[in-house]
Amino acid sequence: DIQMTQSPSSLSASVGDRVTITCRASQGISNYLAWFQKKPGKAPKLLLYVASTLQSGVPSRFSGSGSGTDFTLTISSLQPEDVATYYCQNYHSDPRTFGQGTKVEI
């Protein structure tokens, strides 16, 4: 199975700050990488797919990059509604494993 490793596990930033989360795959997954936002009591929300394509309706302050084994999620200007836990997911092959999550606080 492909292992997904995120860092950091948590972070605290101020409104308006630029926030960066990294995700590393244990083997190459091309750009088959998705980012999800998870809030308590809600189903995971897809933010980006194929590493850098913004899902419809997601604010443009979210962006992604990377290919192969190293990926990044960036929030260009953190907003109060962005408080959540963020997960990367490999969908290059089954099983579609997740990173351990990054909790973002303000």
What is the binding site for other proteins (CB under 8 A)? 34, 36, 38, 43-46, 49, 55, 85, 87, 89, 91, 94-101
C-alpha 58, offset from chain centre: 13
Q: Minimum distance from CB of 106 to other proteins (Å)?
A: 19
Q: Which is nearer to other proteins, 25 or 97 (CB)?
A: 97
Q: Minimum distance from CB of 15 to other proteins (Å)?
A: 25
Q: Which is nearer to other proteins, 14 or 60 (CB)?
A: 60
Q: Which is nearer to other proteins, 19 or 34 (CB)?
A: 34
C-alpha 43, offset from chain centre: 15
Q: Minimum distance from CB of 37 to other proteins (Å)?
A: 11
Distance CA 11, CA 14 (A): 10
Q: Minimum distance from CB of 17 to other proteins (Å)?
A: 23
Answer yes or no: are the C-beta atoms of 25 and 45 closer than 8 Å. no
- Rg (Cα) of the chain, in Å, rounded? 13
Distance CA 103, CA 81 (A): 13
Answer yes or no: are the C-beta atoms of 52 and 71 closer than 8 Å. no
Q: Which is nearer to other proteins, 59 or 77 (CB)?
A: 59
